[in-house]
Amino acid sequence: MFGIFMECFVALRRYFGGESATDIRAYLNMAVFLASVIFIIVKEKDKVKKILFGIMPLVMIVGFLLPITRKIYVGHIDPDSPETYYRILWLIPMYIVIAYAACLVMMKMKSDAIRRAVMVAVVIVIMLTGKLVYTNEFMYKAENIYHIKQDVIDICELIKPAEGEDNPRAAFPEELTWFVRQYDTHILMPYGADIIEGEAKGMYWDPVYDAMKNVEVTPEGVEIVDAKALVDATRNDECRYVIMPEDTEKRKLSKDLTTFGLKVVDKVGKFYVYEDPVVVKALEEKKAAEKN
């Protein structure tokens, strides 16, 4: 039971911004929230407001920490994703509680000057204990109105099928996988983002992804992608196009893909777009056979 309680506490701490037990930000945020709750319980005269923004949030936090709540959640509400237990905390109107408590403090002040000073102080506390969303590591400057990588758009424009043409399958490097079908669903892929981080992670095996990921590392620390294995895999998956980043000092192809018969269609940014004539021919033969 204590173990489950600790799991709940860690979920609470993480929600408040503490990845590790020593991260003071989480405790500061918890303190701000709890101080708001307690202030409302003590100072609010309206019974309804006292219950809604004082007692109820406190009871819900206690409920969240109870092992039985977690057991019910994991067992019956979302058994597939127990890591989403933190979402119970969404039920607590935290922003309203903090903002309301701050306003309550302001309203208790008799002098306008002190009231204004309290307002500024509250804003500063929120800014110091919080984290500006625009500084998030996953926040990037938009390259276009689609809000996806411009390289992906340029590559998709290059390989998209013409009217009446079959939809091509294209093998993209991992970093572009998320965006391709957000731009054009006519482009098929041998593996998708789900194999990288989604619900299918580890659920299926794809030879192209395997060839791209399973690299040989030299003693100098350079990752070498086996070009032969990659071309075998893309041909097996009938990928008409293969997109590969240019070689860097850290990651290289064992051989140029053109040595296996692939043709460079174009270079977009740091990505080479190859077309495989072997696959094109095989697909044409397959189509003709299907017609016959």
If binding is defined by CB under 8 A, does position 114 make contact with another protein? Answer: no
Shortest Å, Cβ 280 to another protein: 18
Burial of 93 (0-12, 13-18, 19+ CB in 10 A): middle
Q: Write down how long the chain is.
A: 292
The token pair that represents 260 in the structure block: 């296996």
Shortest Å, Cβ 150 to another protein: 11
Q: Which helix H or strand E contains 273, and what residues bound it?
A: strand 271-275
User: For another protein, which is the closer residue by CB, 208 or 253?
Assistant: 208
Shortest Å, Cβ 108 to another protein: 11
Which string of x and - marks every residue 195-214 that binds another protein (by CB under 8 A)? xxxx-x--------------
- Alpha carbon distance 52, 105 (integer Å): 17
Burial of 172 (0-12, 13-18, 19+ CB in 10 A): buried
Among 74, 177, 243, 253, binds another protein (CB under 8 A): 177
User: For another protein, which is the closer residue by CB, 42 or 145?
Assistant: 145
Dihedral, 229, 232, 234, 236 alpha carbons, nearest 10: -140
- Alpha carbon distance 155, 269 (integer Å): 9
Site for another protein in 246-285 (CB under 8 A): none
Q: What Cα–Cα distance (Å) separates residue 89 from each residue in 65, 76, 80?
A: 11, 17, 19
Phi first, then psi: give them for residue 18, nearest 5 degrees.
-110, 100
Shortest Å, Cβ 44 to another protein: 10
Site size for another protein (CB under 8 A): 80
User: For another protein, which is the closer residue by CB, 99 or 222?
Assistant: 99
Among 1, 90, 110, 288, binds another protein (CB under 8 A): 90
Shortest Å, Cβ 226 to another protein: 23
Which string of x and - marks every residue 33-72 that binds another protein (by CB under 8 A)? --------------xxx-xx---x---x------------
If binding is defined by CB under 8 A, does position 245 make contact with another protein? Answer: no
Q: Which of 264, 285, 262 is nearest to 273 (CA)?
A: 264
The token pair that represents 53 in the structure block: 């923004």
Could you give the count of Cα atoms lying within 13 Å of 141 in the half-sphere of its Cβ?
1
If binding is defined by CB under 8 A, does position 162 make contact with another protein? Answer: no
Shortest Å, Cβ 109 to another protein: 11
Among 192, 210, 226, 283, binds another protein (CB under 8 A): 192
Phi first, then psi: give them for residue 223, nearest 5 degrees.
-85, 125
Site for another protein in 129-148 (CB under 8 A): 129-136, 138-143, 145-148
Shortest Å, Cβ 139 to another protein: 5
